[in-house]
Structure 1
Amino acid sequence: MTNIVLLAGNIGTIPETATTRGGTKLTEFRLATSRPKRVDTKVGKSEAGYAEQDTEWHRIRCFNGLAETVHRHVVKGMKIAVRGRIHYTRWTDNENIERFSTEIIADSIDFLAWPKRNSAGSQAEDTDPIPF
């Protein structure tokens, strides 16, 4: 059996990079993916007639060389494709409550489009995720 995930969406946060005690580079960010909202098995439409979207957020983690590439080149608003695997974590916190987390461990990332730029040529500050 294989654990493979392929997501295409928009970067929703500025990637955060850290180095573990063992020297492994780790970069984490959030990815927004969208799909058509279904109402009674039909695609829901807004009052203006546009298809409505449901957005889901995914936590993406990259390690080592891929972490460095993401750290250097990925910015909020970019469209990317992530290929990786689902990773589930379970732990007990300080208050003895069992917690769960789901994340995607990225094996590769393809840059699909750069974020929108303003007239001065810099990245627009407020870029909402744009569904595909």
Structure 2
Amino acid sequence: MQNIVILAGNVGATPETRTTQGNTKIAIFSLATSRPKFDSDGKIAKDGEGRRMEETEWHRITCFGALAKTVEKYVEKGQKLLIEGRIHYTKWTDQQDVERYGVEIIAEKVTFLTRGKSQQGTNGAADEPEGEDVPF
């Protein structure tokens, strides 16, 4: 069995990046995914104005190495991305001696579904992704 995750969503904030002591680049960002909300009859729920209601979930995405460098350079808040990777669970004990748990997606591939706002008006400069669906 394999641990495989595929998410398509919107970037919630500009990625945070850092470099480890071993000189490995790490980029972390949030990704919002949405799905329709259903009522008790199993039908898509609608608000008072007849618009479809959605449930949004936030995912913590972590990238390493060359992928982190690409994310740092090209990913912006609001951009639509497709993330392929794996789920990683962590467990730690906080300062009050309480066990805490966390979950993140370790990205292995990022596909740009839209360009970042700062790149939308450019005409394919040499250091940009060449298309809207460029995997890195």
Given the two structures, how large is their TM-score scaled by the length of structure 1?
0.85
Distance 2:94 2:25 in 1: 25
TM alignment of 1:1-132, pairs within 5 A: 1-40=1-40, 41-115=42-116
Equivalent pair of 1:62/1:107 in contact (CA under 8 Å): yes
Equivalent pair of 1:10/1:31 in contact (CA under 8 Å): yes
Q: Deviations over 1:5-44 (max 9, x none)?
A: 0000000011000011221110000000000001111110
Q: Deviations over 1:88-132 (max 9, x none)?
A: 000111221101000000000000013568xxx7xxxxxxxxxxx
Listed as ranges, the gaps of 5+ residues in structure 2 are: 122-136
Given the two structures, how large is their TM-score scaled by the length of structure 2?
0.83
Distance 1:56 1:96 in 2: 29
| Number of matched pairs | 118
Higher strand share: 1
What is the percent sequence identity of the aligned residues? 53
Distance 2:100 2:70 in 1: 31
**Root mean square deviation of aligned Cα:** 1.3
Equivalent pair of 2:74/2:116 in contact (CA under 8 Å): no
Equivalent pair of 1:25/1:64 in contact (CA under 8 Å): yes
In structure 2, give the amino acid aligned to 1:60: I
Q: Deviations over 1:43-83 (max 9, x none)?
A: 10112211100000000000000000000000000000000
In structure 1, give the amino acid aligned to 2:48: E
Distance 1:34 1:28 in 2: 20
Runs of 4+ off more than 6 Å: none
Distance 2:94 2:47 in 1: 42
Residues 88 and 113 from structure 1, CA distance in 2 versus in 1: closer, same or farther, beyond 3 angstroms? same
Distance 1:38 1:56 in 2: 15
In structure 2, give the amino acid aligned to 1:15: P
